[in-house]
C-alpha cells in the first residue's frame, strides 16, 4: 500500500484493472485473482523491494563444499541476504525503482518457487516457505478488496515513509496511516 501511495500512476492502474475485471458493483472474490495480472505484479515487486524476511533461514551444508571459489565448511550456518540479492544491479535494472511492469513479461521471474535465484522472497530448496500459495492469495485478496472498495488518502498531505528496520522480520519504522474513503454506493462491498 505504501508503494502504491508513493506511485499514484501505479495505484490508478491497479484500480482500473480491478474495475475492468470485477466491476464497480461487485465484490472481489478469489476466482478473480488469476485475471488480476497487474495486481500480481505489484505484489511481487513489493516483495522484491521489501522482502518480509530479508535474511532467509540458515542453510547448513552436510559436507565441505567449494562455491564460486569459496570453501564452505561442513555444518556452517549460511544466511542468504535476499534483501541485497533482490536489489542487485547485476540482476535488476534500476533495482530501487518500484516497477511492477518488470514482472509482466519475464516468465521465469513470475513464480515464488525458489528456482530464480534473483527473486526468492519465500526462500528456496528444502526450506522454502510451505505457505506460499496461501500467502499469495491472501495478500492479493486483501489488497484487491481494499483498493476496490476504498480510495486512500494520507492525512494532512503527508508523504508515506518507506524507512525500514530489521528485527525478526523487516518492518516499517513508521506505520502507514491512511484514511479510507468509500468508492461505491453498493453496501454489499462493505459488509
Whether the Cβ atoms of residue 132 and residue 122 lie closer than 8 Å to each other: yes
CATH number, residue 146: 1.10.630.10
72 domain residue, yes or no? no
Provide the percentage of residues in the chain whose pLDDT is more than 90.
53
pLDDT at residue 109 in the model: 61
Do 6 and 160 form a contact (C-beta atoms < 8 A)?
Answer: yes
- Average pLDDT over every residue of 55-67: 89
Check pLDDT > 80 for residue 76. Answer: yes
Share of the chain above pLDDT 70, in %: 92
pLDDT at 181 over 80: yes
> What is the residue range of 43's domain?
2-53+88-190
pLDDT in tens, 135-151: 889 999 999 999 999 99
Binding residues: 129
Average pLDDT over residues 48-60: 88
Task: Kindly state whether residue 42 falls inside one of the protein's structural domains.
Answer: yes
* Distance, CA of 36 to CA of 41 (rounded, Å): 9
**Cell numbers that stand for 145 in this block:** 478488496
Helix-strand-coil split of the chain, %, nearest 5: 40, 15, 45
Determine the average pLDDT of the residues in 61-84.
Answer: 92
Does residue 95 lie within any of the structural domains?
yes
What integer is the mean pLDDT of 81-99? 93
Confidence of residue 114 (pLDDT cuts 50, 70, 90): low
Question: Pick the residue with more confidence: 138 or 161?
Answer: 138
Which residues are annotated binding-site positions for heme? 129
pLDDT at 43: 94
Mean pLDDT of the chain: 88
- Are 80 and 97 contacting, i.e. CB atoms less than 8 angstroms apart? no
What is the number of domains present in the chain? 1
Cell 523487516 sits at which residue? Answer: 170
All three cell numbers of 102, joined, read 518488470
Residue 67 pLDDT exceeds 80: yes
The pLDDT score that the predictor gives to residue 124 is 80
H or E, element range at 171: strand 170-172
34 in any annotated domain: yes
Whether residue 81 lies inside any domain: the answer is no
Amino acid at each position: 500500500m505504501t508503494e502504491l501511495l508513493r506511485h499514484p500512476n501505479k495505484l490508478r492502474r491497479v484500480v482500473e484493472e480491478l474495475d475492468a475485471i470485477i466491476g464497480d458493483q461487485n465484490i472481489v472474490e478469489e476466482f478473480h485473482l488469476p485475471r488480476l495480472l497487474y495486481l500480481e505484479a505489484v505484489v511481487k515487486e513489493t516483495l522484491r523491494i521489501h522482502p518480509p524476511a530479508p535474511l532467509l533461514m540458515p542453510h547448513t551444508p552436510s559436507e565441505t563444499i567449494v562455491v564460486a571459489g569459496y570453501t564452505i565448511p561442513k555444518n556452517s550456518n549460511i544466511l542468504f541476504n535476499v534483501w541485497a540479492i533482490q536489489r542487485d544491479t547485476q540482476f535488476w535494472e534500476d533495482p530501487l525503482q518500484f516497477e511492477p511492469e518488470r514482472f509482466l513479461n519475464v516468465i521465469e521471474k513470475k513464480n515464488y518457487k525458489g528456482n530464480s535465484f534473483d527473486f526468492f522472497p519465500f526462500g528456496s530448496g528444502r526450506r522454502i516457505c510451505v505457505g506460499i500459495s496461501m500467502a499469495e492469495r491472501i495478500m492479493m485478496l486483501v489488497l484487491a478488496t481494499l483498493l476496490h472498495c476504498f480510495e486512500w488518502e494520507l492525512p494532512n498531505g503527508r508523504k508515506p515513509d518507506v524507512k525500514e528496520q530489521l528485527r525478526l522480520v523487516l518492518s516499517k519504522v513508521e506505520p502507514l496511516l491512511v484514511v479510507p474513503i468509500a468508492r461505491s454506493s453498493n453496501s454489499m462491498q462493505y459488509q
